[in-house]
Amino acid sequence: MSHALSYYHKADTYFVKGKNYINLGNNLNRIGRIYFKHKRNAAALNNFREALKLFRTGNDHKGIAESYSYIGQVFEQKEAYDSSHLYQELALAEFKRLNDKSQIAYTYSRIGSIYEDQLKLQTALKYFLLVHKIYSEGPASVELAAIMNNIGDTYRKIGNYNQALHYSKRAETLAARLHDNRQLSSAHRDLAKTFEQLKQYDSAYYYSEKSRMAYSKSYNTESEKQLNLIQTLFDVQHKDNEIEQLESKNRFSHILTLSILVSSLLATFLGISLLSRQRLKISNSKILFETRQQSMELELYNKQLQQESLKAELELRSKELTSITLHMIKKNEVLEDLKTRLASIVKEDKRDQRKELKQLVEFINLNSSQDKSWEDFRVVFEHVHKDFFEKLMMHTGGLTATDLRFLALLKMNLNSADMATMLAVSQTSLRTTRYRLRKKLQLPEDASLQKFVHNL
């Protein structure tokens, strides 16, 4: 984050000097998006508003529309839904003026999400269907699979299970054709939930397992991307250090050259004077001493940077371990629930599949025992965030295990999509959990749940 902001701020200087205000506005929006990604909403909002002023001055409607959209997203994250809706409608009007179908569809999706946050599911569905219509006019895409997943999930929430199955299966087919494991996992998860609502538990278990396998593939892909990113950042840091060392050597070379020149001039003007040569030796010794001292300070600084880098990497590994543990716990919960229901079916003597169901229960027992417990997760998590759960329980005693997991993920700064995946729930359920927790924690209407968790 710091490196990106440093370069963007340097670019600001050149844009201001050249009076290139449109590029300056775009640069401010990029800076705002970095702050927004790291939950620094106040700083993000300031940059988006400054960019909006510049675009209005230059009458740049694309920039105006994008700034409106970014401001709306900040208000949505702050749960100020009325303000968020207002800015997204302003953005929509600008994108329609530009006839930018891709951005129109994206803005419809943002407005639908706002209504979904407020549990106005019928209105949210209307906007999701508008997005689906736009994406259906173009080639097959991941965005089309994602919106079909949203539509299927919304129909399930409303209770229209036939439509829910229809859209979730379409999303499954498209995601498989596009080889997108994230959307495929989401489609399988939604199908499992719908079959569970229909009390078709065999199908629910089948799709739950498929969701787990697709998610595992997606997680491995994401992990590989993150490792590549870490390696790239390490290489860049290594190159920066080499450049700094080279610059340090050049400075030393300039100092040494200057010292030789001064010595030659002194020797020319002062001749063979013993006193003058003695003074020259003292002067040269002082310069050499200072140069060595600077070199030692630079070496010490580089070692401190390496230690900080190792510390940051250790923290990252700890958080990854926490995420993996939480996923295993979620799997145990699903398997335990299915095991209980299958055991109940086994007790009914009229069942023809009694023997096979017993085998399924034994299989679930075998897989369930291999996962780590929630207590293991708590131990790992509290190594990273000291006394977090104790402070939560001191605030209120009515939190469930699910509440604690959600708040732990919120503390880790995961985005909504990743949190939904880790908890194996839809983003709609995630927003419902957020709303319920605000009541349990007795937070004022204008208080942010995100800020409350990070202040613990």
Which residues contact residue 201 at a Cβ distance below 8 angstroms, ignoring those fewer than 6 apart? 195, 338, 341, 342, 345
Q: What is the DSSP string of 300-348?
A: HHHHHHHHHHHHHHHHHHHHHHHHHHHHHHHHHHHHHHHHHHHHHHHT-
pLDDT for position 446: 83
Give the tokens for residue 383: 């190594």
Give the tokens for residue 103: 């951005």
Whether residue 111 contacts residue 88, with contact meaning beta carbons closer than 8 Å, is answered with yes
Q: How many CB atoms lie within 10 A of CB 87?
A: 22
Give the tokens for residue 21: 């205000």
Taking CA atoms, 287 is separated from 269, 270, 276, 350, in Å, by 21, 20, 17, 97
Q: Token match 């002082």: residue?
A: 286
pLDDT in tens, the chain (456 residues): 555 666 666 666 766 666 677 888 898 888 889 989 888 999 999 999 999 998 998 899 999 999 999 999 999 999 999 999 999 999 999 999 999 999 999 999 999 999 988 999 999 999 999 999 999 998 989 999 999 999 999 999 999 999 999 999 999 999 999 999 999 999 999 999 999 999 999 999 999 999 999 888 876 655 455 555 445 545 555 565 666 676 667 777 678 777 777 777 776 777 777 666 777 777 777 788 787 788 788 888 888 888 887 677 667 666 665 666 566 656 656 666 777 777 777 776 555 566 767 777 666 665 544 445 556 667 777 777 878 888 888 887 788 878 888 888 888 887 888 777 777 678 888 888 888 888 888 888 888 888 888 887
pLDDT for position 324: 62
Whether residue 151 contacts residue 127, with contact meaning beta carbons closer than 8 Å, is answered with no
For residue 85, give the nearest of 106, 49, 112 by alpha carbon.
112
Q: Output the CA angle 407-195-361, nearest 5 degrees.
A: 80
Q: Token match 């020149």: residue?
A: 261
Q: Token match 């529309």: residue?
A: 65
pLDDT for position 177: 94
How many angstroms separate the CA atoms of 263 and 254, rounded?
14
> How many residues does the structure list for the chain?
456
How many angstroms separate the CA atoms of 194 and 308, rounded?
48
pLDDT for position 369: 44
pLDDT for position 238: 58
Q: Which helix (H) or strand (E) holds 103?
A: helix 101-117
Give the tokens for residue 435: 């709303």
Three-class secondary structure of residue 373 per DSSP: coil
How many angstroms separate the CA atoms of 452 and 442, rounded?
11
Name residue 20's amino acid.
Answer: N
Which residues contact residue 42 at a Cβ distance below 8 angstroms, ignoring those fewer than 6 apart? none
